[in-house]
Amino acid sequence: MAAPAPLLVTVTGPDHPGVAAALFDALGPLGARVLDVEQVQIMGRLLLGMVVESADPEAVGGALRAVATSQGVTVECSPGSGSGTRPGGPRLLVTVLAPELPPGALAGLFGALAGCGANVERIVQLARYPVTSYELEVTGGGPDRVRRAVGEAAAALEVDVAVQEAGLHRRAKHLIVLDVDSTLVQGEVVDLLAARAGRADEVAAITAAAMAGELDFEPALRERVALLAGLGTADLEAVRQDLVLTPGARTLIRTLKRLGYVTGLVSGGFDHIIEPVAAELGIDHVAANTLEVAGGRLTGRLVGPVVDRAGKAAALVRFAEAAGVPLARTVAVGDGANDLDMLARAGLGIAFNAKPVVRSAADTALNVPYLDAILFLLGLSREEVEAADAAERVPVRRPPV
């Protein structure tokens, strides 16, 4: 005997407690099986869909419509097709975010997905401010085709998009490693030191060329450090006090710690300044360069191996091994050319307000000025973050309207 055909049931109307309970209660005496169910609520309106298998679909429909009348909602029943189960194959999570996401941008992204054979099965809004962000659950098309298609569309539409495979790995223990200068903090520490030494223009020119990949990092760093000779340890402390964290940095680190993430900082800057910042934020690991100090003054030289492009990638691996986290479950965030190896080694490399060469090489790019937007790429919503802050009585700082 052929299996009963599935019945697609759609329920709409004003939402209130007890609607779903009454509907499912009506199905029990009829021997119906629920194969799938989804429910959302938008501005007080309920949209519930379910796939039901029954030998007597007319009885099911009649019972559900009777319940709907008593609950003040509407039920539509129609013959389903297929098995009523979700398709197999890899499921992808496409996260899109921008200061604003107008209908045209969404149309362009959905068109790109359709064009590569992918289908959007679920959409969840992750944030309304300070950016707008949605997470799309996608099947079909294949990871490489989807990444290429939405990446091209995102560049044309000037929005940020990340494509990741769904699965349990998103809930496992992770390590996130951040660059410091122009990522965790605003500006470049070496430029701030140079300003105190009266060598700002000379150092800034070398910094810009090094970050753009036009100069090898280590000789450029040594050249800049030489220009800092004579500064005192009091100057180092003054620069540390003047550092400005990137908007959202505290929220990002605080939330990651709640999630059980291991955190790390890697920097071509200097541990005299970065280690106190890491201690204040509760960062677990730090790798940075060490300035030579003699008689309370900088000599213009470095001590020990240089943390350069290769050194940052090595630090990521070292931190992962210490934390017992596979590289596939690591996240690296940076903006400059000396972050490229680290971004490539990580399971997810994020270019944050980065130079063009870095944006083109990273897994995904964020071009909004809020570091906690990274949380949306991890599947967290703004409401979840704020609820956790409220539970710990952390003040919520909303941007001015």
Query: Distance (Å, rounded) from C-alpha 23 to C-alpha 66?
Result: 9
Query: Distance (Å, rounded) from C-alpha 151 to C-alpha 162?
Result: 8
Query: What is residue 185's three-state secondary structure?
Result: strand
Per-residue three-class SS string for 263-316? EEEEEEEEHHHHHHHHHHHCCCEEEEEEEEEECCEEEEEEECCCCCHHHHHHHH
Rg (C-alpha) for the chain, rounded Å, is 26
Q: Are 228 and 193 in contact (CB under 8 A)?
A: yes
Q: Are 174 and 325 in contact (CB under 8 A)?
A: yes
Sheet holding 262-270, edge to edge: 297-303, 285-294, 262-270, 175-179, 330-334, 348-352, 364-366
Query: Distance (Å, rounded) from C-alpha 136 to C-alpha 123?
Result: 5
Give the residue numbers marked as catalytic. 179, 181
Query: Distance (Å, rounded) from C-alpha 118 to C-alpha 112?
Result: 9
What is the residue-wise DSSP string for 20-66? HHHHHHHHGGGT-EEEEEEEEEETTEEEEEEEEE-S-HHHHHHHHHH
Query: What is residue 398's three-state secondary structure?
Result: coil
Give the type of residue at 298. Answer: L
What is the pairing mode between strands 91-98 and 119-127? unpaired
Query: What is residue 116's three-state secondary structure?
Result: coil
